[in-house]
Amino acid sequence: MSTSDVSGIRQDLATRGVAVVTVEGGCMAPALRDGEMALVTRCSTLRAGEVALLDAGGTLEVHRLGLLAGRWALHKGDASPCWGIAGRDQLLGRVAIPAAPVDGAGWLGLLLRLAAIFWRMGLFHGVRP
């Protein structure tokens, strides 16, 4: 996971409710591959099985959540055999859409899904349905 601007990503999630991160490494393959971009949305609740962005001491990690118990969460990459543990305060947001390169009509579907997310988040100010 790219760690170049942890504070900037935290700020985007706090102010805009959304951030884009670039995956580095293969721990989430095949769901997310090295070099893919992922859209992260701020959320108040996360569930087991969802993919989340974590701040692991200044290093960002995109991992799938396992057991959530109290203030703790077990997490791991899909391609990794090892589980980690994180405090719930380290869970920054839900990885909503892998923005993988797509061809042809796939771009239209991706743009429509992004527009729907941005619409629900109120990012289209002054535009009425």
One-letter-per-residue 3-state SS of the chain:
CCCCCHHHHHHHHHHCCEEEEECCCCCCCCCCCCCCEEEEECCCCCCCCCEEEEECCCCEEEEEEEEEECCEEEEECCCCCCCEEEEHHHEEEEEEEEECCCCCCHHHHHHHHHHHHHHHCCCCCCCCC
**Whole-structure pTM value:** 0.73
Q: What is the pLDDT of residue 20?
A: 87
CATH numbers and ranges of domains, the chain? 6-102 (2.10.109.10)
> In this model, does residue 122 exceed pLDDT 70?
no
| Residues 88-112, mean pLDDT to the nearest whole number | 69
Q: What is the pLDDT of residue 116?
A: 67
Q: What is the pLDDT of residue 23?
A: 87
Q: What is the pLDDT of residue 67?
A: 92
Interval 32-52: pLDDT, tens: 888 888 889 998 889 999 999
> In this model, does residue 16 exceed pLDDT 80?
yes
